[in-house]
């Protein structure tokens, strides 16, 4: 494991004019030395300078799903057809964002699994107050990753029809024209 290149295996790694070792850490600090030679003088720096920035990117979305149920007296969540969960990679109990295209409401909850092939999109508990059956919604999940991971990452985009059946998938959103 590494923290922005700081190795956990005890081997020194060169970064420009310095060498860094992940095994020589004290609390939230890391040891750095100017040479790889044994016995070279160590300097201790805060780990805040070693931790990479994390970006929050769209991991996946279900585009324009139709709300089939709205159950106020059920424990809060959104039940999603298992086929859609599998196609998007959304895990049960994962936080999801709901954007109601019909009324403009935006909120978050967690995903629950509904029967595969049922087409169910059911908003439950307090979330049921934000939608009505027949509303068109977008269900999105996000993931945190480093800038390097973000450069290689592609989201899973799932498009559905009015019965919440998958029509097609994609890994990118077309560029918006003026």
Catalytic residues: 77, 110
SS3 for the chain is: CEECCEECCCCCEEECCEEEEEEEEECCEEEEECCCCCCCCEEEEEHHHCCCCEEEEEEEEEEEEECCEEECCCCCEEEEEHHHHHHHCCCCCCEEEEEECCCCCEEEEEEEEECCCCCCEEEEHHHHHHCCCCCEEEEEEEEEEEHHHHHHCCCEEEEECCCCCEEEEECCCCCCCC
């Amino acid at each position: 494991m590494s923290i922005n290149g700081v190795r956990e295996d005890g081997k020194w790694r060169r970064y420009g004019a310095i060498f860094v070792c992940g095994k020589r850490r004290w609390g939230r600090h890391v040891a750095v030395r100017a040479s790889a030679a044994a016995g070279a003088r160590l300097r201790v720096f805060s780990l805040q300078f070693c931790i990479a920035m994390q970006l929050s990117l769209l991991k996946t979305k279900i585009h324009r799903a139709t709300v089939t149920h709205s159950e106020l007296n059920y424990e809060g969540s959104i039940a999603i057809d298992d086929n859609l969960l599998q196609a998007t990679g959304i895990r049960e109990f994962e936080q999801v964002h709901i954007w109601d295209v019909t009324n403009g409401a935006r909120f978050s909850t967690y995903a629950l699994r509904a029967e595969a092939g049922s087409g169910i999109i059911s908003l439950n508990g307090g979330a049921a107050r934000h939608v009505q059956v027949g509303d068109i919604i977008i269900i999105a999940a996000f993931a945190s990753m480093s800038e390097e991971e973000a450069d290689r990452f592609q989201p899973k985009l799932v498009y559905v029809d009015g019965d919440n059946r998958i029509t097609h998938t994609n890994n990118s959103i077309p560029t918006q024209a003026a």
